Amino acid sequence: MKAFIVDRYGSSGDNLRAGDMPEPEVRERDVLVQIHAAGVNALDSKIRDGEFKLILPYRPPFILGNDAAGVVVRVGTRVRKFKPGDEVYARPDKDRIGTFAEFISINEDDLAPKPKQLTMEEAAAIPLVGLTAWQALIDIANLQRGQKAFIHAGSGGVGTFAIQLAKHVGATVATTTSAANIDLVKRLGADVVIDYRTDDFENVLHDYDVVLNSLDNKTLEKSLRVLKPGGKLISISGPPDPAFAREIGKPWILRPVMRVLSHRTRKAAKRRQISYSFLFMRASGDQLREITSLIDSGIIQPVIDRVFPFESTNAAMAYVENGRAKGKVVVKVK
């Protein structure tokens, strides 16, 4: 099958090449999916560049790609939830990525039926960002009606989904974006919009319950100052904390490393009576089903900037890396 393969870690475009790989093995609880479209994420670039080697030690050559939509072509002997012909979407488990390909084998627990109202390209834009927002705002933050949530980078992939989810819960939502995207984030439900080029969010926002950070460490530290005591700071861009090391089952020797990486942030948060959590989202078919119901009800809509042909996957990666995409970028595989 055709796929985009990482032969060695590094940021060069040569480090992600088109090539042929064997069709994936289908274990007894696996579903073989013919991929129609795959979402492109900043995470893909970080994995290719080797930024996550410490916690996600993929062994080259491996296929890149972290979310997809497609059609079931074969199921394992113990699969009960799906059958050939079903339209599905998923973010595969972190140990079994590889959606920049014609086929992928995914555990049935990580799959969900594709939202009926969405095209394959629209569905492929949802899993990773949708699960990230769900696990941050619902699982960790337990966001409630009447609370205040601040979501950084509101016009990005995670931001466009998180704004809609937080608004659905009943929270007051603040976000940052550029002037060109103010109308977009307001349409999605943002109540307070800060142009990051002209205003400093820490001078505008106060006494927030939740912050979802996807930016750098400087922004993370400033975010502490907009939270009230008892507030929750959740970051998807690091630094990883000891709880994350335990969660992903890393050897005990790595846990002190995670502790050191996040020490400054955790200490500053504790001083302000704020909890800090690093989130590296996990695959979950059950949560995707919840998200599907919100999409089919018209509560949440995907935001797609561009769709690239499969052969232009490297161009799609470069487009995401420039940081200007509104919502998600997708490659059309079939």
What gap in Å lies between CA 50 and CA 46, rounded to an integer?
6
The pLDDT of 109-135, averaged and rounded, is 98
Give residue 252's pLDDT band: very low, low, confident or very high (50, 70, 90).
low
Q: Which of 1.10.1520.10, 3.90.180.10, 2.60.120.260, 1.10.20.60 would CATH assign to domain 2-126+303-332?
A: 3.90.180.10
Residue 171's CB: how many other CB atoms inside 10 A? 26
As a whole-number percent, the residues of the chain with pLDDT over 90 amount to 85
Kindly state the helix (H) or strand (E) to which residue 192 belongs, with its residue range. strand 192-195
Rounded CA-CA distance 5/209 in Å is 42
Q: Amino acid letter at 108?
A: E
Distance set, CA 241 to CA 182, 215, 245, 263, 264 (Å): 33, 16, 7, 8, 11
Residue 233 phi, psi (nearest 5): -105, 120
Outline which parts of the chain fall under CATH 3.40.50.720: 128-278
Closest CA to 288 of 155, 92, 142: 92
pLDDT digits (tens, 9 = 90+) for 240-251: 877 776 776 655
Tell me how far apart the alpha carbons of residues 114 and 321 are, in angstroms, rounded to a whole number: 27
Which residue spans of the chain are classified as CATH 3.90.180.10?
2-126+303-332
Per-residue confidence (pLDDT) for residue 259, from 0 to 100: 73
Of 284, 302, 293, give the one whose Cα is nearest residue 118: 302
Inter-residue contact 84 to 74 (CB < 8 Å): yes
Q: Quote the pLDDT of residue 251.
A: 57
State the pLDDT at residue 57.
79
Domain 128-278 is found in CATH 3.40.710.10: no
Gap between the Cα atoms of 192 and 210, Å rounded: 14
d(CA 83, CA 298): 27
Tell me what pLDDT residue 2 has: 98
Q: Please tell me the number of Cα atoms within 13 Å of 233 on its side-chain side.
A: 32
272 token code pair: 């302000």
Give the mean model confidence (pLDDT) for residues 193-201.
96
Say which amino acid occupies 187: R
pLDDT per residue over 9-65, tens digit each? 998 767 899 999 999 999 999 999 999 999 999 999 999 999 888 778 799 999 999
Q: Rounded CA gap, 222 and 211, in Å?
A: 11
Q: What is the pLDDT of residues 168-186, one digit of tens each?
A: 999 999 999 999 999 999 9
Residues 258 and 264: beta-carbon distance below 8 Å: no
User: Based on C-alpha coordinates, what's the Rg of the chain?
Assistant: 19
